[in-house]
Structure 1
């Protein structure tokens, strides 16, 4: 019985001792964070060191405002070619599919029709008649000079010769439109088919025909794109359009690789607001790669201006109850919480519009001070 009483007394003393020790530790922790005012806090040197808090200055920095818009990769109209034929015919041969690369001058398709035969026949016939008309003109000219023939006959021969030259010239141009060379055409090499050649080097984007199909001069057979000169077509709302001007720099990114940045320069601003209250801004892309294809969605940040403003690193600004604050270093490990109005965020720095009259501010791990301040308020 005595042993039980002694054990109970020992446990009671030990429990009181532990409780007392825990209270002392809590009191010691409270002493390390000293509230000096409602918006001030004092930390111990150990806390500052362990939290990685760094002190810097609130100084001037060159910063520019940015306008964030969206757009797509586009190709200038001169780099998009629709291929048609001057005369109709049947597609005899073609083996193209969208995505294929073709070189300028390569054969895209072969078209055949009897009208090509007729055109070549008309040209060779007219060319033969031209020789006769020229000989008759020279003969009548000599006879008329000696008055051996009338002026009427000479004028008829002259008119026939002139008309025949015109006919031969026009038929030659029609033949050139088909891709044939009239100077190499004779009665032994009349062809019933013509070749369609690629006008530029690039990629086939559309194929609207197949072998055996009849096409007319108004049909678009193929569409080619030369992606060597891509540009960005941005959509800008009317309220922001007045802020833009030619020559402004733009940083573009894609959704696929947001970490990769592409530089572009504003080349042209469409001077018109559409029904959707936007306008188009055309930008020259300075660097591109195989990942950028026509139609690719782009995110763009337009640099609007450049000015000297008060700024601090982003890590210096804390948000509390939807308001922005910074901490000024008051000396003796004291910090004061100051409400500020922020502006532009650029390259890791934040513009401080309502710059307070302070010299030293916390530039790193300001949230550590905020947490310690609010925790001490709750404990208090």
Structure 2
């Protein structure tokens, strides 16, 4: 019996020693695994609290957009719609008063031109004949002018009969009228008749820009035969491009000239344009029960094209507030948040845990980090929401205006992974 007891004690001790050895070995191996497990890497990637990082491919995939804070009037605004237009004097269709063949084209679409600039050249024998006719009429006019003066003196001195004086007077006036008419034709053709009379002959008929602006359309090619009235060019001057807006009868009593208006051109709410109401129409359009008004645009007008759709918010009260597009604000557990793009540089590269400086710099360009910031929200209007910041942000802060919900989902996914 004692022998059996000793045997059992020996076996138990062996099992205990073997178990301790395995435990130590397991700890050592698991410690080594923890240095390379994906979970550890994920924890390092999401180590920044309230931050999420996206690669360029992810940003492009969700069509992420950045914008800034705007100061707009959410309470006391009137919504209007319309389109961009030009005044009649800022648009020109260029043609020719004489037919011919296009020999040269000196401009390209989109090119800026000045009033009086040469656009194209036309060749036609009829233009040469018109110059020859001018010189012949001028010579005949000079002869008849002298003869008219001579016959007038003879008639006044009662030396010659009145019949000769009347015939010369009629011929003189007729040639003078034809001469002035031919000169007027040549001036319409943008040619100097006095230079032709002095002996100059123009080989081509010039096509001249009548206004300053940009070449919108070119409707000719070299060698093309054009006729009187053909449209050769279209020129627009966008310096005075404006918004033609409709205001409905229920809002007419709130609108005044000089009021400010925030314009969103082609539905681009990331880049609002400031403007001022310059004119309110006096005619009422019964079919739509509205009145047209014009609003001038501030700033650079080069990107705008006549015909673009416009939405506007007219401030009828001076109650401006800080606002963002509604897509920039996300809700999570009863709180409101926005995402701010962090500055690129060494901090961004550090989050990537790269092994060389070169790799860090490349990563900082490929990956962007966005920080979640809690905000308080207020009223909404026409896709905008009032935002009250709980902490001061740089004036140049870039806010995610589209894609914020994806960032929130990525952050929540990272938090879940980190908790495991």
Q: Same fold (TM over 0.5)?
A: yes
SS in 2 for 1:272: strand
Residues 1:282 and 2:304 aligned together: no
Q: How far does the alpha carbon of each residue in 1:124-146 deviate from its partner, in whole angstroms, 9 at most, with x for none?
A: 11111111101111221232233
From 182, 194, 214, give the equivalent of 1:183.
194
Q: In the alignment, which residue of structure 1 is the partner of 2:239?
A: 228
From 258, 264, 272, give the equivalent of 2:275.
264
Give the superposition deviation at 1:104: 2.5
Q: In the alignment, is the contact (CA less than 8 A) between 1:238 and 1:273 conserved in 2? A: no
Q: In the alignment, is the contact (CA less than 8 A) between 2:267 and 2:311 conserved in 1? A: no
Q: In the alignment, which residue of structure 2 is the partner of 1:88?
A: 99
Residues of 2 paired with 1:260 and 1:185: CA distance? 56
| Closer, same or farther: CA 95–172 of 1 in aligned 2, 3 Å | closer
Residues of 2 paired with 1:183 and 1:255: CA distance? 52
Q: How far does the alpha carbon of each residue in 1:31-71 deviate from its partner, in whole angstroms, 9 at most, with x for none?
A: xxxxxxxxxxxxxxxxxxxxxxxxxxxxxxx9961111223
Matches within 5 A, 1:65-214: 65-186=76-197, 188-214=199-225
| Closer, same or farther: CA 255–145 of 1 in aligned 2, 3 Å | closer
Q: In the alignment, is the contact (CA less than 8 A) between 1:94 and 1:210 conserved in 2? A: yes
Residues of 2 paired with 1:198 and 1:255: CA distance? 30
Q: In the alignment, which residue of structure 2 is the partner of 1:296?
A: 308
SS in 2 for 1:139: helix
Count of residues in correspondence between the two structures:
258
Q: In the alignment, which residue of structure 2 is the partner of 1:11?
A: none
Greater per-residue helix proportion = 2
Give the superposition deviation at 1:72: 2.5
| Closer, same or farther: CA 267–274 of 1 in aligned 2, 3 Å | farther
SS in 1 for 2:284: coil
Residues 1:251 and 2:271 aligned together: no
Give the superposition deviation at 1:192: 4.3
Residues of 2 paired with 1:247 and 1:287: CA distance? 17
Which ranges in structure 1 are unaligned for 5 or more consecutive residues? Answer: 1-61, 314-341, 351-380
| Closer, same or farther: CA 153–64 of 1 in aligned 2, 3 Å | farther
Give the superposition deviation at 1:287: 2.6
